Amino acid sequence: MKPLLSIRKLTKRFGPGCEQCVDESRWGEIDANACPNCGTVWALRGLDLDLFPGEIVGIVGESGAGKTTLVDLLSLAAVPDYGAAHLANWRGGLHSIYSASDQEKRHLSNVHISTVYQDASRGLLMGISSGGNVVERLLASGERCIGDMRARAQYLLDYMELQGLMDVRTGRLSAGMKQRVQIAKALVHRPSVILFDEPTTGLDVSVQARTLDLIRKAQREHGFAALLVTHDWNVLRLLATRALVLKAGRVIERGTVEQLIEDPQAPYSQLLIHSSTT
Amino acid sequence: MTPATSLPYAYLDEFMKACVRKAVLKAVCIPGYQVPYVSEEVPIARGFGSGGLQITLSLIGADDVVKVFDEGDDQTVNAVNLRRFIVDVTSNATTNDPAEATLIQSRHRIPEEGLRLGQILVLQSAFPDALRFFETNEAVARRMHAEADYSKLWLRLYESIVDNHEIMIGGRYPVLINGRYVLDPTHVPRWDLPKLHDCSGIVLFGAGREKRIYAIPPHSRVEPLGFTDHPFRVERFEGAACHLCGSSHSFLTQFWRDDGSPAWVCSDSNWCEKQRAALVQEANA
Amino acid sequence: MSNCIEVSGLSKTFTLHLVGGTRLNALHETSFALEHGASLVIMGKTGAGKSTLLKLLAGAYRASSGAIVIQPSPESSRVELASLSDVDLIALRRRSVGYLPQHIHVVPRVPAIDVVTATGIEAGLEEAEARARAEELLDELEIKRKLFPLFPSTFSPGERQRLNLACALVRNPSLLLMDEPVSALDPRMMQQVVGMLQRHRSRTGGGTLVTILHQMAAAEQLADRVMVIDDARMKAFGTFSEVLQAT
């Protein structure tokens, strides 16, 4: 099976870097993400990952581990210092998505790689109706028939259990509803990859369960592959099949979700698992 | 006002005129692109047509015949004062008849009969950027223009249709020029936009306060934005007709008579006069 | 006959970093082989290391030393568990190695019938076929039809256990690993489950079972191999009578 998204040596640093911290072979020794010598912050160091069609891979780690940087890089909101990401269905997977022009990047993040943010205001226009938010993606790719676009948006919003809310201003919806509008928006072009950045953090438990359930359903029926950034093991267990544990910008452990939950090996992974309430 | 004999012809010095002309040339070369330019002081307040006036003064030649009108009317305070100033600094001939004019400065209207070859229409623009509604950051807006990223503009039309079942944008209706830039056609009514398509004359837009010049060169493809199932439509005046000339196929404005009853009148006063003259001629014949 | 499971020198040590790096020996130097079509019952005291062995076989634990080679059915290829990528391990578990853990986390807000059906779809069945299999299995396990559309979070422990069994069986795995599958069931239901497992073996044409059981009666019916684990070591391995004699 060929990977859909193939990420190689993805690295992002904030600062000039010095001889000491640029040396890849010594990354294992560095425990913090800031270089003790020059102070350069290494948000992500040499991340490798193959994402296969139809699977959900979890990205676990504390704040500052590099999760959000990874989402920013893959959603093309930022560029890496080095490393590449190849998407199988864009230019035959021959070119890294970071070699795309700005216009191509807009197309990529509109059609191929969607993102669902923890903060809905990053992904949605609050002054526009929820239907308008979904339709925006269709408008951006040149569709000009209101009737068709509204039918598509209506279907997706109903699918996300948002019946009758199509023409309501997004800013007036509850937090859980906004997340579901984001998911509907993410689905509209049937993207091959969706990035979920803490999609249910901050929602109350019942709303969280419902949202997760809708993500599961959408994943089963639409068949996208996804990266799920979370620090909640229950969310991970429910949605993902395998996962990476990030610390200080490095992958310190990877395996099936079952392995990571049953048998975490790195000290940091054990700390994460046993800090979780269940 | 006494003729300003000590001033150069057409008020601006030759260097300033050259600056404005260069900007105009660039604007004509890149239809719809907003060219930044040095906006010189002229003796009217910014926001009252200073951009349009600078273009007029820079382009005017000794044999140009000038028409100035405002919201279709040749006799409004603004039109009268601008015309008087132009005459004072140039001594050029003026006219109210767009057919005779070579240079027309206007606000909010395009002459009802459109433009012919060799004519230049200068429109006073208040907000040159059609994206200003939802993108206040100039740098971001320029990037959006550069990448032809107009989805938010389309979204505004979508929302208008959802709220009102049709596009309820009166002035500043966005138009796409030659399939590339979206341009703000100032507050001309939707009625006038079809005249811009494949127009024989040159249309120049001057925004003095915002320091931008943009243009529609002759015979450009000008498409007001619209959806396949909700196309662009001009204003409709069902059953209304001008109470002076009886016309029902011109852009009408409503007013109230002294007894409080509503009535309609042609917005373009010169056109209305011509209609009436033709009626009189017909009656005499 | 070829072997379904070959285990050699298998050890599992947990390093508990949160309690000062304490090392916990959960399984020590275990070696055995189980041929295709056999049914192995693992017995032993609580905390002896039975579940550790089962989880190692399922790939849920990663071995500290030693090797596990699995060939789910005589037709499939032999794989060394430790050498599998996580993607391949997930595929193996979905298609041919079933694992029924002692405790299952129920998925919220999904009707019981859909839980089983989705598991079948994961294993590669068509939706209609998966649903038919799911209904058949739940009927056989005497889960009432009126419970089908309910969420499993409302089920009793016994009903949940049977639901999990249905999930394990709907995949029709060649090798089925079960951790105390009948602990919450009454004797009559236990008989019913043992019967089902027997039928499962004959249906898959020699499916291999590894089961942790405490109930002697059920073990006697189900096992043709028995393993006794005590204090992290394998104490006995053989047929029921051999092991009975040895201990």
A244 part of a folded domain: yes
Q: What is the pLDDT of residues A260-274, one digit of tens each?
A: 999 999 988 898 888
Q: Is A167 on the interface with B (CB under 8 A)?
A: yes
Q: Is A79 on the interface with C (CB under 8 A)?
A: no
Put simply, the chain C residues between 83 and 122 with a CB less than 8 A from any chain A CB are 86-87, 89-90, 105, 107-110, 118, 121
The predicted structure's pLDDT at residue C122: 85
The predicted structure's pLDDT at residue A210: 87
Q: Are A263 and C110 a contacting pair at CB < 8 A? A: no
- What confidence category does residue A61 fall into, taking pLDDT thresholds of 50, 70 and 90? confident
The predicted structure's pLDDT at residue B4: 52
Burial-class residue C133 by CB neighbours within 10 Å (0-12, 13-18, 19+).
buried
The predicted structure's pLDDT at residue A62: 82
Share of chain C above pLDDT 90, in %: 60
Complex-level ipTM beyond the 0.90 threshold: no
Which residues from chain C sit within 8 angstroms of residue A209, using beta carbons? Answer: 108-109
* Least confident stretch, A198-212, B57-71, B240-254, C95-109: C95-109
Nearest CA in chain C to A253: C86
> Does domain C3-246 correspond to CATH entry 3.40.50.300?
yes
- Separation CA B162–CA B153 (nearest Å): 15
Q: Is A168 on the interface with B (CB under 8 A)?
A: no
The predicted structure's pLDDT at residue B169: 84
Tally helices (H) and strands (E) across chain A: 11, 9
- What confidence category does residue A278 fall into, taking pLDDT thresholds of 50, 70 and 90? low
Q: In tens digits, what is the pLDDT along chain B, a chain of 285 residues?
A: 455 567 899 999 999 999 999 999 999 999 999 999 999 999 999 989 999 999 999 999 999 999 999 999 999 999 999 999 999 999 999 999 999 999 999 999 999 999 999 999 999 999 999 998 888 899 999 999 999 999 999 999 999 999 988 888 888 999 999 999 999 999 999 999 999 999 999 999 999 999 999 999 999 999 999 999 999 999 988 889 999 999 999 999 999 999 999 999 999 999 999 999 999 999 998
Residue A165: pLDDT above 90?
A: yes
A179 part of a folded domain: no
Residue A60: pLDDT above 60?
A: yes
The predicted structure's pLDDT at residue A217: 87
CA B76 to chain centre: 16
Across A114-127, average pLDDT: 94
Domain of A63, CATH number, reads: 3.40.50.300
| Structural domains counted in chain A | 1
Residue A32: pLDDT above 90?
A: no
The predicted structure's pLDDT at residue B140: 93
Q: Are A136 and B228 a contacting pair at CB < 8 A? A: no
Q: What is the pLDDT of residues B2-19, one digit of tens each?
A: 555 678 999 999 999 999
A227 part of a folded domain: yes
- What confidence category does residue A100 fall into, taking pLDDT thresholds of 50, 70 and 90? very high
Share of chain C above pLDDT 70, in %: 99
Read off the tokens for A115.
């993102």
Residue A159: pLDDT above 90?
A: yes
Residue B242 annotated to the active site: yes
Q: Residue ranges of the domains in chain C?
A: 3-246
Q: What is the pLDDT of residues C114-162, one digit of tens each?
A: 999 988 988 888 999 999 999 999 999 999 999 999 998 889 888 999 9
Of C81, C78, C76, C77, the residue nearest C59 (C-alpha): C81
Range of the domain at A107: 5-120+191-201+215-275
Share of chain A above pLDDT 90, in %: 68
Domains of chain B: 14-224 (3.40.50.11310), 236-285 (no CATH)
The predicted structure's pLDDT at residue C203: 77
Nearest CA in chain A to B154: A139
The angle formed by the CA atoms of residues B117, B69 and B53, to the nearest 5 degrees, is: 80
Burial-class residue B43 by CB neighbours within 10 Å (0-12, 13-18, 19+).
exposed
A53 part of a folded domain: yes
The predicted structure's pLDDT at residue C78: 92
Residue A146: pLDDT above 90?
A: yes
